[in-house]
């Protein structure tokens, strides 16, 4: 049995093949130029993340030496440690201000009084919402609630850790 479609398929295959081959020949020089530019471009762009020297060798290398890798990682760790230390310092200062005021018996005061003492309202450790629907911001065990007219009410709660 002869397949009537066979001659058609064969001729289309040949036409496609010729088209592909012609296009390949047409673009082949450009492919080489592109590859040449790409390789040079990436070679220029690849620099050590620590010292900035151009890296030779494997294309996935990020550092020119183990020492540069260590320098870089140590610097990143130092920067993130500084960040944690700075935020912790802000929280401790906030806590100290709330603690002093609370222990002096000043439980309701104007927000400006806290500002004047250097309190930073952007930093707190957690929030607690009471059953009555009141929201408290805490710096560790000392907290405050915003009342009307920019007045705040201080509070103390060391029991919260029991519920963690």
Chain residues that interact with Zn ion, rule: CB under 5 A: 48, 50-51, 53, 64, 68
Taking the C-alpha atoms of residue 17 and residue 21, their distance in angstroms, rounded to an integer, is 6
CB-based contacts of 56, cutoff 8 Å, min separation 6: none
By beta-carbon proximity to Zn ion, the closer residue of 71 and 120 is 71
**Least Å distance between CB 117 and Zn ion?**
47
By beta-carbon proximity to Zn ion, the closer residue of 48 and 98 is 48
**Least Å distance between CB 43 and Zn ion?**
16
The Cβ of residue 62 has, within 10 Å, a number of other Cβ atoms equal to 13
By beta-carbon proximity to Zn ion, the closer residue of 53 and 100 is 53
Q: Where are the beta strands (DSSP E) in the chain?
A: 108-110, 126-129, 135-139, 142-146, 151-156
**Least Å distance between CB 78 and Zn ion?**
18
By beta-carbon proximity to Zn ion, the closer residue of 45 and 104 is 45
- Residue 62 has φ and ψ, to the nearest 5°, of -110, -15
- Starting from the edge strand earliest in sequence, which strands make up the sheet with 142-146, in order? 108-110, 151-156, 142-146, 135-139, 126-129
By beta-carbon proximity to Zn ion, the closer residue of 21 and 62 is 62
**Least Å distance between CB 140 and Zn ion?**
43
**Least Å distance between CB 39 and Zn ion?**
21
Please name which of 142, 141, 140, 145 lies closest in space to residue 129, comparing C-alpha atoms. 145
């Amino acid at each position: 049995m002869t397949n009537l479609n066979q001659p058609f398929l064969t001729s289309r295959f040949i036409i496609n093949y010729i088209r592909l081959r012609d296009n390949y020949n047409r673009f082949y020089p450009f492919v080489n130029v592109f590859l040449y530019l790409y390789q040079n471009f990436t070679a220029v762009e690849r620099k050590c993340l620590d010292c900035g020297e151009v890296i030779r060798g494997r294309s996935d290398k990020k550092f020119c030496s183990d020492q540069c890798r260590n320098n870089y990682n140590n610097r990143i760790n130092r920067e993130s440690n500084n960040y944690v230390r700075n935020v912790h310092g802000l929280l401790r200062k906030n806590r100290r201000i709330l603690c002093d005021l609370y222990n002096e018996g000043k439980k309701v005061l104007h927000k400006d009084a806290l500002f004047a003492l250097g309190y930073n309202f952007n930093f707190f450790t957690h929030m607690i919402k009471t059953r009555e629907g009141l929201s408290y911001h805490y710096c560790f065990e000392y907290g405050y609630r915003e009342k009307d007219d920019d007045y705040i009410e201080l509070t103390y709660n060391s029991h919260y850790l029991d519920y963690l």
